[in-house]
Structures are given as structure tokens and as C-alpha cells.
Amino acid sequence: MDILHSIFAAPFIDMYSAPDFLLQVLWEGFVSGTLYALLALGFVLIFKASGVFNFAQGIMVVFAALTLVGLHSLGMPAYVALALTIGVMGLLALGVERFIMRKLVNQPDIILFMATIGLTYFLIGLGEFVFGGEPQKMIASELGLPSGSIDFTVGRGVVILEYADIAAAVVAALLVFSLGFFFSKTRIGRALRAVADDHQAALSVGISLNQIWAIVWFASGIVALATGIMWGAKSDVSFALQIIALKALPVLVLGGFTSIPGAIVGGLIIGFGEKIFEIYWGGLMGGGVESWFAYVIALIFLLFRPQGLFGEKIIDRI
Amino acid sequence: MFYRETGQFKTTYEADSAIFPILQDRIGIALMLAVAFVVIPLTGSDFFLNTMMIPFLIFALAAIGLNILTGYTGQISLGSGAFMGVGAYSCYKMASLFPDMNLIVLVLFSGFFSAAAGMIFGLPSLRIKGFYLVVTTLAAQFFLTWAFIRVAWLYNYNDSGAIDTLPRKAFGLWISGAEASPVTRYFVVLCIVIAMTWFASNLVRGRIGRSWMMIRDMDIAAELMGVRPLYAKISAFAVSSFYCGVAGSMMVFFWLGSAEVESFDENQSFLILFMVILGGLGSIMGSYMGAAFIVVLPVALRAAPEFFGITVNPTNMEHYTIMIIGALIIFFLIVEPHGLARLWQIAKEKLRTWPFPYA
């Protein structure tokens, strides 16, 4: 009886009796949800245009953030460092396209997936070699990100919203909006969607695959940079972020691999679900459930809807 | 000239369907076994056995396990590290509960626990394919490693949270613990690995293995031809996790001596997937080659600067190693996406017609 009570009743009583705390938890969930969504966005971009599941997105986030911090510590103004970092991500995109994607065209998905894991190892080694293994402070205030927080009084308590978190949500919304525009309205965006649909057909109407891949890796590099800045503003930039980036997988599964809105909705569902479950139910299981909860949600969800919320229906042809 | 089956006539069906139908292959295998059983224990130093041969054999077994699932059945899994952990923790638990049992029996028996875990986490594979399945196996990976930390019963409530090997004797010799000599441990590992390899190579060419390959090549067609996907997929998950589990418990008891949860984390799963892909999907021989590559490479890279008389700062060396491993993985995928086993096969084909390839 006690167990049933602590599973089915006590958490809801807690939620009702302390609405300010619940709101704070929801806000935390929203913030981590937007970050997951940003991470997932990088994955979706590359998956849409090349069918490659880019495992290296997580390390690209770390790499971009470390490059930015490293360039700034050389004495450059923050905005110059930012522009140079974008340049570095562009070079990385060109390199990946030239030395990996172009050589592996027409290979099975798993081979390309493994190649991105190889790229991950390479970037980890390179990043640690150049920037050292220690966590670094993100140059949030130099980049003009607001700090501090505003408080709301709810009931008897206070809900604290950090400006940095609000900025992260705004940046995420802007990125999603501009990427959506880019994909649906511009000529390159249409070419991207054509490549995603059918490589050969796209080639036959004169779309350069190599150019498209370079562009799409560059775009996801920029998304990685934005994610790195936002994440770094919340906590330090470290290589541990790379494992957290795996959380983007359940987000993708929920939203569907090919859908940009899906990445956002999936990210928010995972963010909210994870925080609420950890705070109100996690104690029953000894805590730390955040590490696997997202995956289990995704697993259960997949059993009912294998293509995700917004994914294209999977059709098997014989 | 030397590697040619001309003149080797088969007069029975048994001879025709033997594992090694060609005489030269049988000689080759006999030579390899002779090296493994006689030459290496006699000439190898303790360091060589401990850092190269024992991990190589253990990882080869784990790679065979994952290869059964990924290479033969076509189900990508990133949970092999966790299934190794299930084997290791259950073996530790059994060894401490039944101190008088023969440890080798317990190591083999621990595979059944990880097989059960594998079957549970394999159930989603009936509905989910491809990268979506990767997510469900990652769920297994993260859930199980979480359980290894939180369920203190698994490591007998000790403070370190690690499982240590328990000194055990079998056939009058110490086979685990501090007193066990590397040669003894090497022999135990070698016997288990060879027996299980032999079993696996028969399994994959039998009825079960053929149904796995049918599921891999086209699941719908296989279903129409009477292969039951439930049995085929779940049996693949069970056998694969059994192999990983045995490899995991051997890793703790015969190699590392003690292990924490980090030994079974997602990086371990990636490493085993690397071995399978680099070695060659759907090849038992390839699993050995991949394991040899991944085990030997870091040791060789660390020894290389000394060999050439260059001194490198050890922390930088760590970074170079990981960079070179990453670059080599990409390089091998580009050069031969079907793995080292395919290179070996090409070499054998060339050898058959050598020295007159056009005759």
C-alpha cells in the first residue's frame, strides 16, 4: 500500500502543494529540452540531406565551443573569435566532405555511421591535444549573453528564470525558424530536400552532391556552435558533453529522424519528462534515473509508433 | 600452387560439409592451434600474455557475440558492453554465493543471465529496425549500467562499488585471483574461447544460422518462406548476449582482476562494434582479426615512438593514440568497407591461382 501510495499519490500531492517548485521543475525541463532540441537539430540536418546518422555531432558541439574559448583566450575580441570559429567549422565541413563523405558515397548506412564514430575519436584526440582536457569557462558575457535572473512570485514561493536560459530558448527558436525558411524557400534548401529524397535522381537533374554535403555539414557545424555556446553558458565546456549528446538519440526517435519540428517537440517532451520523473519519482529508485529515462521513454514510444511523431511512414518494399 | 583443392575428392556428405573441407585449411588451423597452445605459452612473457593475448581472446569472443547479432542477423546493437557487465556481475554473485563450484562452470553459466537480459531488450527488435534499434539497445546500455551502480546487492555492498575477482582453484590449480599465473589463465581463456568459437561456427552454418541470415538479407521474404522472426531475432539476441556475457565474466576473473562499472560503459560497446566492423560483418574469422587490430593497435602505438627513438610526452601520446585510432577506422572503412576478413578472402582467392592467374 505504501509503495502504491508513494508511486501514484505522493508525487501529485507534492506537485499540488508546492506549485512554485513544480513550475521551477517545468522551467528546468524546458531549458534542457531546448538544448536537447538544438542538439537533435544538428543530427536531423545531416540525416535529412545524406541519410547519415552523424554520431560526431556531440563532439562537434564541444569542439566548436572549445575553439571559440581558445581563440578568445589568445586575446581576440569575442565577436572576431566567433567569426573565426564559424570559419573553422566551415573548414571542418569541407574536410569531412572531401575526405570522408566523398570516399564513402553509396556505402551502407552502418559504414557511414561507423565513419562518423571514427571522426568522433579523431576530434576527441585533436580537441584534447589542442585545448587540453580541462573544462573551460564559456565566454558568455563577452558575447553579449545576459546574466542574472528574474523572479516570479507564485503562490507562496518564487520561480527563478535565468536570463541565459531565456536567451537559449530565443536562439533555439530563431535557429529553427531560419532553418525552416532555408529548407523550404531557398534554392539550396530545395536542392537539399531533393538529395534527401533520392541521391541519383538529384544528381541527374544537376545537383552537386559534394556541394550539398559540404553545405549541410557546415550548417550543422553552426548549429553545433550555437548549442555549445548555450550549453557552455549553463555549465562549463567539457568533453563530458559528448555523452550527453547521445541524449539526442531518444529525442530523434520521438520526433522522427527527418523532421525539424519533430526535433523540437521531441526535445521538449524528453526535457520535461526527464526532470519531472527525476524529481518526483527518481528518489524511489535511488536517484540518477536521468541517465536512462529518456531512452526508456523512446523505447516504449517506438513500440507503438516506430516512425516517431512526425517521421515519414516507413514503407517496406519487396 | 600450394593452396588448391585439386585432387581432394569427397566421397561422403559428412566430408563435404565439414567446417574445413580443404586440406590446406586444416593444416593452417592445426598450425595456429599449435602456436596458440604450445609456442605462445612457452615463449610469451607474462607481460605479453597479460596485455595482448588474454584481452585479445576475450574481446574476440565478445566480437563473435556481437557479430552473430549484427553481422549474421543484421540487428545493430550498442548494448554489448552492458551485456558483458551482466555476465560479469552475475558470475561474481554466483562465485561468492557458491564458493565450492568450479569457476569455469560458473563463467559459462553466467552467460545464461546475460542471454536472459539480451532477450528482454531484444524484444523491441520485432517492431523496430535500423538506427531506431540502436536507441533501444542504448536504453539497455544505460539502464543496466545504472543498475550496476544503484543495486548494491550486485557487488555485495562493498564500499568501492567494484567487483573483485575471487581466488578460486580448479583441477588443483589457481585459475583466478592474485596467485593464478598468467599462463594458467591464458589456457583457461583459450580453451573456453576455442570451444565457443567452434560452437558458433557450427551454429551459423546450421539451420538457426541460416534463418538469421535470411532475416538479415530480407526479413519480409524470410517470413514468407517460413522463418519465424520472433524465434530468429530473439535467439540471435540470446546467443549474442550469451557470448558477450561469458566474455565479460572472463574479463573480470581472468584478465582485469577487478572491474567497476566503467569497464562496461558505452565506450566498451563502441569498441566491440569497431572490432566487428573492422574485422568484417558476418565472419567469425573477422571477429578475431578485428579484436587483434583493436587490442594490438594502442599497445603498438605506445611502443612506436620508443622504437624510433623519439620521446613523446605521455599525455600527448594518449591524444595521438586516440586520433590515430579514429583516422585508421575511417581509413579502413574507405579502403575496405567489408573488413579485414574480406581482404583475407581476396588473398586466398589470389593464392588459389598463383602463380598462373590466367591459366
Q: Does A201 touch chain B (CB under 8 A)?
A: no
Q: Report CB contact under 8 Å: A53, B131.
A: yes
Phi first, then psi: what are they for A152, rounded to 5°?
-115, 140
Residues from chain B that touch A270, judged by Cβ atoms under 8 A, are none
Could you report the per-residue pLDDT of B102-157, keeping only the tens digit for each? Answer: 888 888 999 999 999 999 988 888 877 777 788 788 888 888 888 888 877 877 77
Q: Is A300 on the interface with B (CB under 8 A)?
A: no
Q: The CATH number of the domain where B330 resides is what? A: 1.10.3470
**Does ipTM surpass 0.90 in this model?**
no
Q: Give the residue carrying C-alpha cell 574536410.
A: A95
> Does A318 reach chain B within 8 Å, measured CB to CB?
yes
Q: Provide the 10 A C-beta neighbour count for residue B218.
A: 14
In a domain, A168, yes or no: yes
Among B125, B91, B75, smallest CA distance to B240 is for: B75
B320 touches chain A (CB under 8 A): yes
Q: Does B273 touch chain A (CB under 8 A)?
A: yes
What confidence category does residue B238 fall into, taking pLDDT thresholds of 50, 70 and 90? very high
Query: What is the amino acid identity at position A306?
Result: P
Is residue B358 one of the residues assigned to a domain?
no
Q: Quick one: closest CA in A to B329, which residue?
A: A118
On whether residue B31 sits in a domain, the answer given is no
Q: What is the pLDDT of residue B199?
A: 93
* For testing contact with chain A, the best of B69, B154, B318, B334 (most A CBs within 10 A): B334
Summarised one tens digit per residue, pLDDT across range B28-61 is 889 989 988 888 888 888 888 888 889 999 999 9
* Residue percentage of chain B with pLDDT more than 70: 99
Range of the domain at B119: 44-353
A99 CB near a chain B CB, below 8 Å?
yes
Evaluate whether residue A289 is within a structural domain.
yes
Which chain A positions have a beta carbon within 8 Å of B266's beta carbon? 243, 246
Q: Considering only CA atoms, which of B233, B227, B236, B228 is closest in space to residue B204?
A: B236
Minimum-distance CB partner of A306 among B132, B273, B281: B132
d(CA A178, CA A79): 21
DSSP A3-59: HHHHHHTHHHHHHHH-HHHHHHHHHHHHHHHHHHHHHHHHHHHHHHHH----TTHHH
With respect to residue A317, please indicate whether it lies within any of the assigned structural domains.
no
- B 147-166 near A (Cβ less than 8 A): 149-150
Among partner residues A99, A107, A306, which is closest to B337 by beta-carbon distance? A107
Find the residue in B nearest to A248 (Cα): B135
* Residue A230 falls inside a structural domain: yes
Q: Is residue A283 part of a domain?
A: yes
Contact list in B for residue A287 (CB cut-off 8 A) is: 150
- Asked, for residue A257, whether it belongs to a domain, the answer is yes
Separation in Å, CA of B236 to nearest CA in chain A: 19
Q: Which residue, B261, B2, B247, B240, is CA-closest to B125? A: B240
Is B301 within 8 Å of chain A by CB? no
Query: What are A6-22's pLDDT values in tens digits?
Result: 777 777 777 777 777 77
Q: Tell me if A309 is assigned to some domain.
A: no
Instruction: Check if B25 contacts A (Cβ < 8 Å).
Output: no
Determine whether the interchain pair A253/B325 forms a contact, defined as Cβ–Cβ distance below 8 Å. Answer: no
| Assigned domain for B14 exists | no
Cite the beta strand spans of A91-192 per DSSP E. Answer: 149-154, 157-162
CATH number at residue A130: 1.10.3470
Residue B5 lies in a domain: no
With beta carbons less than 8 A apart as the criterion, state whether B211 and B47 touch. no
Q: Does B277 touch chain A (CB under 8 A)?
A: yes
For residue B229, give Cα distances in angstroms to A110, B130, B170, B210, B218.
22, 15, 41, 12, 11
Tell me how far apart the alpha carbons of residues B169 and B146 are, in angstroms, rounded to a whole number.
Answer: 32
What's the rounded mean pLDDT across residues B65-88? 91
Tens-place pLDDT, residues B240-273: 999 999 999 999 888 888 888 888 888 889 889 8
Is residue A231 within 8 Å of residue A241, measured between CB atoms?
yes
User: Which of A289, A291, A306 is opposite residue B127, by nearest beta carbon?
Assistant: A306
Which residues constitute the domain of residue A216?
2-304
Regions of chain A short of the pLDDT cut 50: none
Q: How confident is the model at residue B164 (pLDDT cuts 50, 70, 90)?
A: confident
Q: Tell me whether residue B181 is in a domain.
A: yes
A3 — contact with chain B (CB < 8 Å)?
Answer: no
Domains: count for chain A:
1
- Asked if the structure places residue A318 within a domain, the reply is no
Q: Is position B126 within any domain?
A: yes
State the count of interchain CB pairs (< 8 A) between A and B. 132
Range of weakest confidence among A112-126, B79-93, B229-243: A112-126
Chain A residues whose beta carbon lies within 8 Å of the beta carbon of residue B321 = 125
Whether pLDDT at B210 is above 90 = yes
Of B33, B49, B36, B60, nearest in space to B180 by CA: B49
* CB contacts, 8 Å: B221 with chain A: 318
Average pLDDT over every residue of B214-223: 89
Helices B80-97 & B103-122, crossing angle to 10 degrees?
A: 140
B336 to chain A, any CB pair closer than 8 A? The answer is no
Q: Give CA–CA dist A226/A178, Å, rounded.
A: 13
Which of A123, A291, A298 is closest, CB to CB, to B135? Answer: A298
Please, which pLDDT band fits residue B1 given cuts at 50, 70 and 90? low
Which residues of chain B lie closer than 8 angstroms to A243, CB-CB? 266
State how many domains chain B has: 1
Task: Give the gap in angstroms from C-alpha B185 to the nearest C-alpha of chain A.
Answer: 32
Query: Which chain B residue has its CA at the smallest distance from A251's CA?
Result: B135
Compare all CA atoms of chain A with the CA of B320 and give the residue at the minimum distance.
Answer: A125
Residues of A in contact with B334 (CB under 8 A): 100, 103-104, 115
- Tell me, what's the pLDDT at A155? 66
pLDDT exceeds 90 at position B65? yes
In a domain, B200, yes or no: yes
CA-to-CA distance for A42 and A54, rounded, in angstroms?
A: 9
Task: Say yes or no for a CB contact (<8 Å) between A121 and B277.
Answer: no
Residue B359 covered by a domain? no
